Structure 1
Amino acid sequence: MDAVAHVLHNLRRVAAASLPPRLALLSVPDGLPDDHPRSVRSLRELSESMFTTASAAYRALLLSLRSGAAPLTCVVADGIMPFAVDIAEELGIPALSFRTASACSFLAYLSVPRLVELHEVPFPADDPVRGVPGMEGFLRRRDLPRAVARAEDGVFDPMLLTHAEGIAQAGKARALILNTAASMEGPALSRIAPRMRDVFAIGPLHTTRSAGVGSLWREDDGCLAWLDGHGDRSVVYVSLGSLAVISHEQFAEFLSGLVASRYAFLWVLRPDMVQATSAAALQEAVEAAAGGDRRGRARVVEWAPQGAVLRHRAVGCFLTHAGWNSTLEAAVEGVPMVCWPFFADQQINSRFVGAVWRTGLDMKDVCDRATVERTVRVAMESGELKGRAEAMAQQLRLDVAESGSSSSDIERLVGFIKELSAMSCQA
């Protein structure tokens, strides 16, 4: 039987019945009290706790599993927690690193020491960046990963270097697994490969997983029926993911721009998303801005079944934070994007959407109603954006089909793990 180990806080939020029955659910504490918000504002505190309390509990868990009846043959560890690979290998358990972000952002993180050497630190400016190989022609300082939500001019956050050093630890793993496809990120993959023992590009994974996968948020399926009442490509879908937080002023600018675009919109507004504003107040503001006709012009939900929403014929564009999962889901469905990245890898993902793949528009570091209105209108009405998005979707479907590049890498990965298992059993 396979097992998934997660922090106890998250496992409590996922219904076990929604996960595949072959998976045993295991947990380790993250070291924070139950009432801790675990929000983006406390990522540093959470990271420090994970590297102390959680890493010790993880070591104890592996020791107990190693001495159990069923042999522990290998570990596939979250690439953002390098201690998971280090501890497993130290205990003689082969470990693979699974990074859930894009290959382009992974390469950027690997390049952080060089960026520091060149004094090319992230901040909102259009200065060209020379320190990330293969991206010299289009990458700007504003596109670099940020350890904080909004970078200040000339101020380097040392947490970014710490994070980059941790990501580089993937080179110690038996292999690096990335949720991407060679057709999307071939150049970045080719530059990453020499620094890893092996690389497997097996995405987009959401196209192959079972439908019954747990979510940390309760999805509002009623929004699908609301979409049914709208015409083809007539609705803007808005979601800034599970971590982004915005000010009330930013919320007001987004809302005014969406209303001014004159398109209907479905907006995911988490209860903790807009600072110092209740969910009820947000809904009232949206209803008032939409002329009292929130039911027809606008729909607000706390969380949406995003895959089904993006597949819906009524959705014409996706205003997104450009998190990698959201970027892949939109790419697979051929939906043009408007990107407003919040932090971390989202910055570089949005640049690739706007300047490399050209399947959407990059709106980073700007939040005013006129820009929101303009970019939404272009994304909804541009035949060129829609055509490129549909072409990428068609290619990604070929990648995950039988004999496609991602499908072939999955088969190669299965064989790789079987070899590790055979060697482990012989040891």
Structure 2
Amino acid sequence: MDQRSVSPHVLILPFPIQGNVNSMLKLAELLCLAGIQVTFLNCHYPHHCLLSYSNVQARFSRYPGFRFETISDGLPMEHPRTAEQFLDIVDGVKTTTAPLFMEMMISWCRSTSDTRPPLTCIIADELMTFATDVANEVGLPIVFFCAISACSFWAYCSFPQLIEAGEVPITGDDMDRLVSVPGMEGFLRRRDLPGSGRVNDAAYPGLQNIVKIFQQVQRAHALVINTFDDLEGPVLSQIRDHCPRTYAVGPLHAHLKSKLASETSTSQSSNSFRKEDKSCIPWLDRQPPKSVIYVSFGSLAIITKDELRELWHGLVNSGSRFLWVIRPDALVGKDEERQTPAELLEGTNDRGCVVGWAPQEEVMQHPAVGGFLTHSGWNSTLESIVAGVPMICWPYFADQQINSRFVSHVWKLGMDMKDTCDRVTVEKMVRDLMEEKRAEFMKAADTMATSVKKSVSEGGSSYCNLGSLIEEIRLLSARSP
């Protein structure tokens, strides 16, 4: 078959955690809407969760060129898969997924009997760097997808320079000392670096692994980032100096919603790995506008019972209404120790609502929600920005540390509570966000939300960048033999 006679065909390979799969599914649907064929190669566990708790199968059935395929990550289905075991996922992908992917791609691209349409390129999650070697082996262009913020990506890319300058690993205990990431010299501190950079040993495996990952990513044909130019323009300029084909096409959930806006019956596009408790929506319906602070620390973060109590007391003492997501696996300890204390649940009855998992995009858009106490994961941060909801940031790990600093000190969309968890601080920050400084934060949040709408609308930066990405994929298809 002459590949030029058919539409381009892209293979998308996400890292098997909730946030990354969620955003790459949204990218997949945007490509499908442009008439590009997509094979979404998911690991077994996230694919099982999507089939169990979302309508993803029905949503994508409308695209005849879309197909799901699965691959193993080497971990049993019952593996906890929280941040505490994050390196297990990394190791599983490296030792199991990587060789299986190589076999699959060689079979697909070199077999004359394979009935699947030929591939134009691979779009791989930035953490799936083995895809570079696979793509080179089978002669396909590799595009990396950045599921984190541009500012976090650029900080990670700068680690070799920080190591060479002696700023990483960290010596001494002055965590507020500034670090010299290009473009961030005046405000990025040691404590804002991800955990892998806040170490005192250059040989620490996590640090070395991060350096290798982001050196590999820079070898890609192109880079796609889930962000938008009005938010991260200066950092994107730094990245484009090294990778000119950098496409900022986000926020993807807002972009997809904008593309589907003309449809009369657009279904909810949840890509949840868990059953969503929608009882919180009627509860929100009964609350006054902008009166509720939404509390969620994402799909991976774990907390201690002491931290849980401090957060609870701070929320209750603030006087604000709150909707709090406490996952069944969110507490540190053995199964019997992970139960949320009964007195906390009982104490929420007056002004609070606690659920195990929530339909977050719907919650963030609800008129009753006026603030977000968040772990600063990138999807959550973007959802907050799109909804015009200011944030209190309590980051847990990885890119979240840098995101929280940008939210508070660059974008002025909230406050950074990192490395702190006591009831007095929580109470004060909630009062500031919801009462004392509400007008200031809401003004900044409304301005940025307006910028988002422009970026994903016709003629906007993300709209045009997506068009350029699609054209790039079509050109790659035309050049293929």
Contact 1:20 1:212 in 2 (8 A): no
Q: Secondary structure at the match of 2:92?
A: helix
Cα distance between partner residues in 2 of 1:19 and 1:54: 27
Q: Secondary structure at the match of 1:75?
A: strand
1:233 Cα deviation (Å)? Answer: 0.9
Aligned pair partner of 2:415 in 346, 361, 382: 361
Q: Give the direction of change, closer, same or farther, for the CA distance of 1:286–1:387 in structure 2 (3 Å limit).
A: same
Partner residue in 1 for 2:295: 238
Cα distance between partner residues in 1 of 2:432 and 2:426: 10
Partner residue in 2 for 1:137: 186
Query: How many residue pairs align between the two structures?
Result: 418
| Partner amino acid, structure 2, of 1:253 | E
Aligned pair partner of 1:20 in 60, 63, 67: 60
Q: Does 1:289 align with 2:347?
A: yes
Matches within 5 A, 1:172-211: 172-209=219-256, 211=268
Cα distance between partner residues in 2 of 1:45 and 1:306: 27
Q: Give the direction of change, closer, same or farther, for the CA distance of 1:33–1:280 in structure 2 (3 Å limit).
A: closer
Residues 104-143 of structure 1, C-alpha deviations (whole Å, 9 max, x = no match): 0000000111222233237774433333001010010000
Partner residue in 2 for 1:105: 152
Q: Does 1:267 align with 2:307?
A: no
Contact 1:171 1:197 in 2 (8 A): no
Matches within 5 A, 1:241-390: 241-276=298-333, 281-282=339-340, 284-290=342-348, 294=349, 296-381=350-435, 382=437, 383-390=439-446
Structure 1: unaligned runs, 5 residues or longer? none
Contact 1:108 1:145 in 2 (8 A): no
| Partner amino acid, structure 2, of 1:345 | D
Cα distance between partner residues in 1 of 2:336 and 2:409: 37
Q: Give the direction of change, closer, same or farther, for the CA distance of 1:122–1:342 in structure 2 (3 Å limit).
A: farther
1:278 Cα deviation (Å)? Answer: 5.8
Contact 2:322 2:351 in 1 (8 A): yes
Partner residue in 1 for 2:206: 159
Cα distance between partner residues in 2 of 1:236 and 1:342: 19
1:18 Cα deviation (Å)? Answer: 4.6
Q: Secondary structure at the match of 2:42?
A: strand
Of residues 77-86 and 403-412 in structure 1, the stretch that sits farther from structure 2 once superposed is: 77-86
Q: Secondary structure at the match of 1:316?
A: strand
Q: Give the direction of change, closer, same or farther, for the CA distance of 1:112–1:392 in structure 2 (3 Å limit).
A: same
Runs of 4 or more consecutive aligned structure 1 residues displaced over 6 Å after TM superposition: none
Of residues 116-125 and 356-365 in structure 1, the stretch that sits farther from structure 2 once superposed is: 116-125
Of residues 34-43 and 55-64 in structure 1, the stretch that sits farther from structure 2 once superposed is: 34-43
| Partner amino acid, structure 2, of 1:307 | E
Of residues 380-389 and 174-183 in structure 1, the stretch that sits farther from structure 2 once superposed is: 380-389
Of residues 40-49 and 244-253 in structure 1, the stretch that sits farther from structure 2 once superposed is: 40-49
Cα distance between partner residues in 1 of 2:49 and 2:252: 22
Q: Does 1:114 align with 2:161?
A: yes
Contact 1:128 1:136 in 2 (8 A): no
Contact 1:220 1:304 in 2 (8 A): yes
Cα distance between partner residues in 2 of 1:224 and 1:279: 29
Q: Secondary structure at the match of 2:256?
A: coil
1:367 Cα deviation (Å)? Answer: 0.2
Cα distance between partner residues in 2 of 1:287 and 1:49: 37
Q: Give the direction of change, closer, same or farther, for the CA distance of 1:63–1:251 in structure 2 (3 Å limit).
A: same
Contact 1:181 1:405 in 2 (8 A): yes
Cα distance between partner residues in 2 of 1:329 and 1:125: 33
1:17 Cα deviation (Å)? Answer: 2.3
Structure 2: unaligned runs, 5 residues or longer? 1-36, 258-267
Q: Give the direction of change, closer, same or farther, for the CA distance of 1:283–1:300 in structure 2 (3 Å limit).
A: farther
Q: Secondary structure at the match of 2:311?
A: helix
Of residues 116-125 and 199-208 in structure 1, the stretch that sits farther from structure 2 once superposed is: 116-125
1:33 Cα deviation (Å)? Answer: 2.6
1:26 Cα deviation (Å)? Answer: 0.8
Cα distance between partner residues in 2 of 1:394 and 1:88: 39
1:86 Cα deviation (Å)? Answer: 2.4
1:19 Cα deviation (Å)? Answer: 4.1
Q: Secondary structure at the match of 2:195?
A: coil
TM-score, L = length of structure 2: 0.83
Q: Secondary structure at the match of 1:147?
A: helix
Partner residue in 2 for 1:171: 218
Residues 276-297 of structure 1, C-alpha deviations (whole Å, 9 max, x = no match): 376994262323333xxx2x41
Partner residue in 2 for 1:2: 38
| Partner amino acid, structure 1, of 2:226 | N
Q: Does 1:43 align with 2:83?
A: no
Q: Does 1:404 align with 2:453?
A: no
| Partner amino acid, structure 2, of 1:335 | V
1:179 Cα deviation (Å)? Answer: 0.3
Seq. identity, %: 42
Cα distance between partner residues in 1 of 2:345 and 2:96: 45
